[in-house]
Amino acid sequence: MPAAKANSKFMAPITPNETLGAVVGNKPIPRTEIVKKLWAYIKKNNLQDKKNKRCINADEKLLKLFAGKKQVTMFDLAKIIGKNAK
């Protein structure tokens, strides 16, 4: 049985736009790395809601990324990444 291939769509490097790049850097990286870097930023800056851990509170950088929303859920991150990277 051949080894399973990594999902190349998720591993293909994508380029963050200026808004997302302010948080994760501007170099092309896989979507999985963007998610890791976003979560590292969120945890480093204590932006996860204390009562509802699924919610992320925006700071100044994330407010721009979240299109002005003060809070988003972790499930919204995939949409946000999709809109801010190519």
Question: pTM of the prediction?
Answer: 0.83
pLDDT for res 4 = 52
Phi, psi of 78 (to 5 degrees): -60, -45
Q: Where are the domains of the chain?
A: 16-83
Domain covering 16-83, topology: MDM2 (1.10.245)
pLDDT for res 8 = 72
% of the chain surpassing 90 pLDDT: 86
pLDDT for res 36 = 96
For 22-35, b where at least 16 C-beta lie within 10 A, e where not — what string? Answer: bbbeeeebbbebbb
% of the chain surpassing 70 pLDDT: 91
Mean residue pLDDT across the chain: 91
Give the DSSP per-residue string, the chain. -PPPPP-HHHHSEE-B-HHHHHHH-SS-EEHHHHHHHHHHHHHHTT-B-SS-TTEEE--HHHHHHTTT-SEEEGGGHHHHHHHTB-
Mean pLDDT of 24-35: 95
